[in-house]
């Protein structure tokens, strides 16, 4: 099975949790894309009715519009029934790293407003500890004096061999700009950053920081699709 087929299997399994009449958080990324497609298909087939979607990015908003999924926002629906979204890393306690797609702020707002948050991953996302994949731990910051903020983030995690890099795109290396007009600094760790709550609080205390990609104690269910089958882990 390819990685994308595993993502699709996890996504379809998560959509089994969707009931007619629900207000749903619609995730962002290549795994969540399959879940949103599936929801659109079931609506079209009449197997699901009266669904309201709250998208976690402009990209998902456009996908949902193209599928005819009725949409609303947090102002109209401050409490949601269920969100389905992917993740970049999942630790044994169901803590997550998210945001490599750049949508972490709206994802965290929407998923933090849900009664249930179902995370869908293929098995390659499982890590022993967050940051353990050596891949980016995203932090959304305001553009004003971003170098100052990036340096303070790097200094915070000096003991973990942290390197902070501004996320750029294109050959000219333009700064990546989020849906909210902010920048992203990606943190790379060489060692475990220790207590995640302490790390989270320390990051959020920096004035130029908007939000980070650690989703602690937020997932209620994680669906993991692997070569040997699908595992469902509940909090």
Which positions lie near ligand DER, rule CB under 6 A?
Answer: 27-32, 85-88, 98-101, 103-104, 107
Minimum separation from the CB atom of position 96 to ligand DER (A)? 8
CB 156 within 8 A of CB 209: no
Minimum separation from the CB atom of position 99 to ligand DER (A)? 5
| Closer residue to ligand DER (CB): 84 or 150 | 84
| Closer residue to ligand DER (CB): 101 or 131 | 101
Query: Could you count the other beta carbons within 10 Å of the beta carbon of residue 10?
Result: 29
| Closer residue to ligand DER (CB): 152 or 221 | 221
Distance CA 228, CA 60 (A): 30
Nearest Cα neighbor of 146 from 161, 166, 168, 163 is: 166
Q: Count of alpha carbons within 13 Å of 176, Cβ hemisphere only? A: 19
User: Active-site residue among 107, 111, 140, 211?
Assistant: 107
Dihedral class, residue 115 (left if φ above 0, else alpha if ψ from -120 to 50, else beta):
alpha
| Closer residue to ligand DER (CB): 76 or 124 | 124
The β-bridge relationship of strands 174-175 and 168-169 is antiparallel
Minimum separation from the CB atom of position 102 to ligand DER (A)? 6
Active site residue 107: yes
Q: Which residues are catalytic?
A: 107
């Amino acid at each position: 099975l390819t990685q994308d087929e595993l993502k699709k299997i996890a996504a379809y399994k998560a959509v089994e949790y969707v009931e007619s009449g629900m207000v749903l958080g619609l995730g962002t990324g290549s795994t969540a894309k399959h879940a949103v497609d599936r929801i659109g298909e079931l609506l079209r087939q009449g197997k699901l009715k009266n669904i309201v979607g709250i998208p976690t990015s402009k990209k998902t908003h456009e996908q949902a519009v193209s599928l005819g999924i009725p949409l609303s926002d947090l102002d109209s629906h401050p409490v949601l029934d269920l969100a389905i979204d992917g993740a970049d890393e999942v630790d044994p306690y169901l803590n997550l790293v998210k945001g490599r797609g750049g949508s972490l702020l709206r994802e965290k707002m929407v998923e933090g407003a849900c009664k249930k948050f179902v995370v869908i991953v293929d098995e390659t996302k499982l890590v022993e500890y967050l940051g353990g994949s050596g891949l980016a731990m995203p932090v959304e910051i305001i553009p004003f004096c971003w170098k100052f903020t990036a340096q303070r983030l790097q200094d915070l995690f000096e003991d973990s061999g942290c390197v902070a890099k501004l996320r750029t795109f294109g050959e000219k290396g333009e700064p990546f700009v989020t849906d909210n007009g902010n920048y992203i600094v990606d943190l790379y760790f060489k060692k475990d950053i220790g207590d995640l709550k302490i790390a989270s609080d320390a990051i959020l205390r920096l004035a130029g920081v908007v939000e980070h990609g650690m989703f602690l104690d937020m997932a209620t269910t994680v669906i993991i699709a692997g070569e040997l089958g699908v595992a469902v882990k509940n909090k």
